[in-house]
Structure 1
Amino acid sequence: MTIKVMIVDDSSIMRQVVQEVLSKHPDIEVIGAAPDPLFAMTRMKLKWPDVLLLDIEMPRMDGITFLKQIMAEHPTPVVICSTLTQKGADITMEALAAGAVSVITKPTLGLRDFLQDSSNDLVSAIRAAARARVSNLRTLTSRPVTPSSGGASSYAGSSGGSTAASVRERMEGGKQSADVILNAPTGNAFLPTTEKIVALGTSTGGTQALEVILTALPRTIPGVVVVQHMPEKFTKSFADRLNNMCEVDVMEASHNDRIVPGRVLIAPGGKHMVVKRSGAQYHVDVVDGPLVSRHRPSVDVLFRSVAKAAGRNAVGFIMTGMGDDGAQGLKEMHDTGATTYAQDEASCVVFGMPKEAIELGGVDEVIGLDRIAGLIQRVGK
C-alpha cells in the first residue's frame, strides 16, 4: 500500500527537500505541499492524505490550531516537524497532547544537509504514523486528567537525538544490541531487598499512554524508570509537563539520581539510562554511547540494566511503539525473575514493540493500557 503524504510547512526549502527525500521511496507518495494550513485544507479536500507532515509555526493559522481542527473533524495521523530548541520542544508537547503521532526535529541552519542525512528518521516516522491507530490516540488525548494533586496541565517516536554523530550511526546501521553499552545478565541469584523498581519502555503513542498511567499513580508507588523515544531537549519538556500534572514526582534523569518511591525518572533524549544497585538501593547512570536498536535512549539498554541490577525485584512493561527495541531486554528481565507485561494490541497506537516481545517469549501477561497503573500500585505490596 502506498502512503499518501501531505507536507504543510512555510519553508519552501523544507517542502522541496522533504519531497526529494520521500520521492526515493516507492511506498510513499507526496500528494501535495502547502505553505500554510489554509492552502493545505483546500488541497486535502480534493485528496485526503494518509499522513500529514506538519510544521508548528506558520502564518495565517498555527500548526497546533490546525492539528486540533483535523483531529476533531477528520482524524488523521500527524507527524510534527519541530525545531530543536527549548521553545520548539515546549510547543511540541502541546501538539502531542492534541493528538500528534510523533515528532521529527529540524535545525535552524543547514536544513537541506540535515534532512538528507536524517532521511531514515523521516521515513520511519511516516511509516509508523501510517500504521497508527488514530482512534486510540483520540481516546487517550480526550481523557480527563484527575491526579490526586498537582498543578494545571500545559503541554515520538523518535530515535532520540539528532546530532551529526547519531545521523552517521543511523546511516551506518544503528541496529546494534545492548552489548555495546553493557554485558548481558549472568542469571546469578539476587539478594533479597524490600526495594522494588518498575521499568517502562515505549515509543510511538507512548507520550499519551504515559500521561494516562502516571497521572493515575499515588506517591506510594515504587520508583519508576522510563524510556520514551524522544529527541534531546524534548524529554525535559515532557517530564516537566507530567510533573505539573501528577502526584508522583516526574523528572528527566540525571547521572546518579536515586530510584525512590514516588519518583519517576525519564531517560534524557540522546543518552542511555542504566540502572545500578548499591546495597539495597538503586540509582541510574546517564551515559553516552552508540545507538542501540537504532535508538538512544534505548529500551533494550534500560531493561538489560534492570535485569542485571534488580532481577526478580523488578517489574517491566513494554508498551506501544514501532520496531523491536526492548523485546530482547524484556526477555532478559523475564529470564532473571522479573515479572513482565506487554500492552495489548487493542490499546496500542502501534503494536510493534509489544508484539516483538511477545513473540520472543519474554512476556508473562498481555494487558490493556487501563490495567497498567493498577499493577504498578500493587508492586511491592
Structure 2
Amino acid sequence: MIPYGRQDISQTDIDAVVGVLQSDFLTQGPKVPLFEKVVAYKVGAKHALAVNSATSALHVACMALGLGQGDWLWTTPVTFVASANCGLYCGAKVDFVDIDPHTYNLCPRALEARLVDAEHNGKLPKVLVAVHLCGQPCEMQAIYELSLRFGFKIIEDASHAIGGKYQGEYIGNCRYSDITVFSFHPVKIITTAEGGMAVTNNDLLAEKMNLYRSHGVTRDQSLMTHDSDGPWYYQQIALGYNYRMTELQAALGISQMERLDAFVSRRHQLAQQYDILLENFPVIRPFQHQDSYSGLHLYVIRLNLDKCARSHREVFEGLRAHGIGVNLHYIPVHTQPYYQKMGFKQGDFPEAECYYSEAISLPMYQGLSDKEQLDVVEALRKLTRT
C-alpha cells in the first residue's frame, strides 16, 4: 500500500532519540527548549512553546487570548475538528466561514460579508482560526486588515504548513497573527511522533501559554504572590493542563528540522510532476496563490464528475483497491453529528460541501518515489477515463 503520507526517519533521527534515552532527562530537560529555539529561529518568531499535540497548542492559544463563555470563535468548515473544538474547550461558541473555491482556505471575501452582518447583530468573533489547508497559507494580509477593522484576534493553524512561506517569509513569523500553531504528527512535514508548537511575538501570550501547558504552575518568583518558601517552592497561579512535550520528541524534532527545507523541496518536485502527469485527466489540480509557497503537506485533486467515468466514491475505493492509500481532507466540520446538534445543517456552507463531494488527497510525502507516483497516476487514469 502506498500511503497518502508517512514519516521520513533517518539514522540521525534514531541516534538523537537513543541519545536522550541514555541521558539523565526523558522529560523537562534541555532538548525541549532547544527545539523551541530552533523552530522560533527558523520561522522568525520571538517565542516558541512545544506541547504534546497541535490540538493542545490550539487550546492554550485560545486560553491565552482570553476566549471564554459568551465569546465566538470562527474558522473554516474544511479542517480537522480540532480547529473548531478548541473554541468549545474554552466555553465559547463556534461558527464557520465558507471556503475560497480555488485555494480551499477560508475566503476573505466571505469573511468580510459575515463580519459586517455579525457586527450588525452584535456577534463578532473574538478569535478567528485561519487554517492553512494542505500547507498553502490563507490570504493573511487581507484577514489581518479585517481584524483591525472588526477587532478580533488571529490564530494561524499552520498544522500543514511548517516550511512554507507567505509573501516570501516563513509561515510562523506572526506578522499577520497573534499566534501560529504547528503539528508534528507522523504524516505531517516533520514529525516528533506526536507533538505541536505555538509560536508568537507577544511576551504576555507566551507567558500565559507557558503556564497553561504545565498545570498553571510556575517557579518564576516574579509571577508569585509572595516570596518563595525555598528552592523547592512553586505556585499554581492558573488552571492549566499537562500538555508538555517529552525530551524524546524534542530530540527527534531537532533532528528533523535539519531536513525541513529538503523535505518541502521534494514535495514541490512531486507536486510539479503530478501537475504535468495529470494535465489531461478529468480532475482539478491544486491552485497555488501567487503570495504563497506551500508546505505541501497534501496534494488534493477534485474530480470533474461530469467528465469522469466513475463516481467520487467509486474512484476513491478503486484507488484503495489498487493499493493507493488515498484519503479525504476533510469532512466539513459543520456536517459532523456533534455540530449538527448545535444547529448546523447541510447547505450552510455550499463551497465546502461541494469541495467535499469531489476531493481526494493523493499520496504526498518526501519518501514517495517517482515510480510509486507513476503507479498512483496510472491507477487514477484507469478509474477516471472512459
The TM-score bracket by the shorter chain reads: under 0.3
Q: Which has the higher contact order (CA 8 A, sep 6+)?
A: 2
**TM-score scaled to structure 2, two decimals?**
0.26
Structure in which a larger fraction of residues adopt strand:
1
**TM-score scaled to structure 1, two decimals?**
0.26
**Higher alpha-carbon Rg:** 2
